[in-house]
Structure 1
């Protein structure tokens, strides 16, 4: 059995096949097919976004998906998203400058992250203003439970009539969802009330509002299954089929063609077998996240990347989310080598049981101050200083209610867990918060004994090309088996190598 064109057992390969080959117009039943990585997924996706492959290097918040990661992803033929969520607008602007310097102005196949931020009034608007002013053509929308006026504004502002009468988009929303009821909002046209408010405020034109009534808010829906960070731990198969059904229902309700909406799959994709399975289910594209945190271009510290490289598939846990602590929302994080998940969970239990720090038992107070690394009073003064500028209204409520004060201090610890992991704060190694799903451990098991075991060889290019080439090989083996060939199980193996 020959391997697919991207495969390299050593570093001697020159990389993926350099020219696309025309897809055969007819196939004869019972013959083996050549299958190339470029053919995996929905070709309308790569055509629309200007990528070679239907593969997205997903955003990882607070700059873990760095501008360099975006640049290298695009150069490798992928779509790359800058992890701009949670960063200050001026920091995001500097990141956009770096991307444009590396790729050129108006380069295709890249975008940035917009995270729903109800606890930071004005933040979403400031970021959307920046994206529109700088011509960021793609936005990955995450943590949205419903549409906000800002994501609708971004989507509608890019709508226009093409010369042939069709509706053209210059702003593309990728909606990352894990529930059908959330996906339905993005699969439908924007609500009239939201559009009318945006027109009244001068945020969009009347023509843009009318066009927005004829197309879905997002043409690309990313089904987020068991991923790192914010996740509902959904199994990929049931989630994907649920979103397929939701697309049918939403399009029937609003008179849209289902082909207007592409559904990709993310979460748990860390090996060629997972990638092949996603494409076989009908995913228009795949998105990888956790495995890219260990890449050389990642914004995670070398210490954090080393911890990730040692993880197994079960070395993950759920912990409270800093941005939605009081609501009980959790994120999936690395468990191996850190105490973050355990400490975060105990903080949540204390918050539920106590009316404030003064109400805690001596053991609880000792635990809190040990985790914080300083007296509670000192931690509160630092928190207070920040909140005076970030959200004075919430600070005023906390000053009057000890339980809110406790929550804000806990949120600060949870926030800094991720910051310490990015900065490589050696003294806080046990408090590193590293967003991670089981895909990371699966990747490590697959890469063991290969060139990709070494961290210095893990780049977004090497990771993606190995996954894509392996997925094409596995798909070809399955196609041969499905057309009557005797294909042994050993033929489905694929060992990673390096490409030049």
Structure 2
């Protein structure tokens, strides 16, 4: 029977026939065709990669698989990555966060030209930008003008008027009375209280203010008061970049419970809100586990950063390919440095995490550059690669353009000056990694979760081990095919059959 069990796992698209003899112990009697002379044998249905997850998600977004190649900010998730993910039957998100508006527009136009006007399985990223007033509005305006119909909203700590406006402007009522969406928000969250705001209808005050401003119509406000702000909620567990390091199973359960509460309170069916899982999605086992928990879709991030379509330069991708599951660390985020918000980054091969933490310790102590001991001043100058005053003048020039009030405050407050210069260093760390700056390898900021290490262990010795062979298409197809086989192995085990442990793993293969 072991040979049959192996065949059933390795051919998950074929039916497996189970017989239960008088002993009561199930037996696998055939794979594929129904066994002759055994009319009582029960068929175990096929397992297709396309069937894993919520098929309504794939139908809504024009995808073959319930699989999202997630956005990675600052253009790490390039237009090319989005195009290749979409062509592979996945949903792809452009890493538009942190890019100039002109570059975002160019990237969106490149995607649209490649995929055509009918493609629905792609979108772009909107990141919460409290330090840059007006930025969210400007990006949303751009998305609306370019007919970007899917937006992944990340790092939000609260619901904002611009997110509500984007959703409301895409709502219409169909002839049968149902409310339809033209604009879809994928809310990436790691806390139930934040998720609940996206799961619920938009707050009355925000809607009234938007109507008063002429940003939406009264009819659109009425529709927005009846449906969730976001129908897609991405549970962001222990991921690269902004993360609360939540275990996937705990976070998913928490958000599922939140969905139940919000749906009951607002009289919505729970199925109107789909929860996907991100963070730690790197192997067939993790993909299968996510779907088994009830995830509507999975989202991959860190592992795609090492793919050839990534906007990360070759030196950074090479560092990622050597990472183990423990080769990550938390460090202050450039965009929310003063608030103490952290991001998870690659630790192996760089000093960025340690240096970022030291900058934040100086800031938290209340120090300014001028009040620090000479040894610490020298350390700062060495890390910056220039005297602090030169770094401050460059920082001041930029800050005056985007946030004049902060620049004015920093002119009088040395601690604030130190914070702004530190933010510039943290920001530049990502830029140096993106460009592959040869003299700044120790300062590369590479957003990375432990999934990267798990992926490297999985592909070791396979055709996907070399960085040059890693494409978003091959990564996605191997993960989904592998998850189907792991799911089939679980099916057989749940029927009472003894399944060898090695059948719960899958080695990568090159798909045509």
Q: TM-score range by the shorter chain?
A: over 0.9
Residues 29 and 483 in structure 1, CA contact (< 8 A), matched pair in contact too: no
Structure 1 residue 497 and structure 2 residue 509: aligned? yes
Tell me the equivalent position of 2:24: none
Q: How far 1:406 moved relative to its partner?
A: 0.5
Structure 1 residue 57 and structure 2 residue 66: aligned? no
Q: How far 1:362 moved relative to its partner?
A: 1.5
Tell me the equivalent position of 1:243: 255
* TM-score, normalised via structure 1 length: 0.94
Tell me the equivalent position of 2:430: 418
Runs of 4+ in 1 over 4 A off after TM superposition: 28-31
Tell me the equivalent position of 1:149: 161
- Counterpart-to-counterpart distance in 2, 1:120 and 1:490: 51
> 1:346-385 residue pairs with structure 2 within 5 A?
346-385=358-397
- Counterpart-to-counterpart distance in 2, 1:350 and 1:235: 31
Q: How far 1:400 moved relative to its partner?
A: 0.8
Task: For residues 302-349 of structure 1, give each alpha carbon's deviation from its aligned partner in whole angstroms, at most 9, with x where no partner exists.
Answer: 010000001000000001100000111100000000000011111111
Structure 1 residue 271 and structure 2 residue 278: aligned? no
Tell me the equivalent position of 1:13: none
Tell me the equivalent position of 1:469: 481
Residues 30 and 485 in structure 1, CA contact (< 8 A), matched pair in contact too: no
Structure 1 residue 288 and structure 2 residue 300: aligned? yes
Tell me the equivalent position of 2:30: none
Structure 1 residue 166 and structure 2 residue 178: aligned? yes
Task: For residues 36-79 of structure 1, give each alpha carbon's deviation from its aligned partner in whole angstroms, at most 9, with x where no partner exists.
Answer: 10000000000000000000000000100000000000000000
Structure with larger RCO (C-alpha < 8 A, sep 6+): 1
Q: Could you say what secondary structure the match of 2:276 adopts? A: strand
Tell which deviates more after alignment, 377-386 or 430-439. Answer: 377-386
Task: For residues 131-187 of structure 1, give each alpha carbon's deviation from its aligned partner in whole angstroms, at most 9, with x where no partner exists.
Answer: 111110000001111110000000111000112211010000000000000000000
> 1:130-141 residue pairs with structure 2 within 5 A?
130-141=142-153
Tell me the equivalent position of 1:343: 355
Unaligned runs of 5+ in 1: 7-27
- Counterpart-to-counterpart distance in 1, 2:464 and 2:471: 9
Q: How far 1:105 moved relative to its partner?
A: 2.1
Cα 1:423–1:45 change in 2 (3 A) is: same
> For 1:317, which of 317, 320, 329 is the aligned residue?
329
Q: How far 1:363 moved relative to its partner?
A: 1.6
Cα 1:4–1:361 change in 2 (3 A) is: farther
Residues 4 and 36 in structure 1, CA contact (< 8 A), matched pair in contact too: no
Tell me the equivalent position of 1:120: 132
Tell me the equivalent position of 2:51: 39
> For 1:228, which of 217, 225, 240 is the aligned residue?
240
Residues 33 and 479 in structure 1, CA contact (< 8 A), matched pair in contact too: no
Tell me the equivalent position of 1:202: 214
Tell which deviates more after alignment, 202-211 or 100-109. Answer: 100-109
> For 1:395, which of 398, 407, 410 is the aligned residue?
407
Unaligned runs of 5+ in 2: 1-5, 14-39
Tell me the equivalent position of 1:20: none
Tell which deviates more after alignment, 348-357 or 47-56. Answer: 348-357
Q: How far 1:88 moved relative to its partner?
A: 1.3
Q: How far 1:490 moved relative to its partner?
A: 1.7
Taking only aligned residues, the RMSD between alpha carbons, in angstroms, comes to: 1.2
Q: How far 1:385 moved relative to its partner?
A: 1.4
> For 2:231, which of 219, 222, 225 is the aligned residue?
219
Residues 282 and 454 in structure 2, CA contact (< 8 A), matched pair in contact too: yes
Residues 354 and 360 in structure 1, CA contact (< 8 A), matched pair in contact too: no
Q: How far 1:106 moved relative to its partner?
A: 4.0
Residues 178 and 223 in structure 1, CA contact (< 8 A), matched pair in contact too: yes
* TM-score, normalised via structure 2 length: 0.92
- Counterpart-to-counterpart distance in 1, 2:74 and 2:265: 38
Q: How far 1:257 moved relative to its partner?
A: 1.1
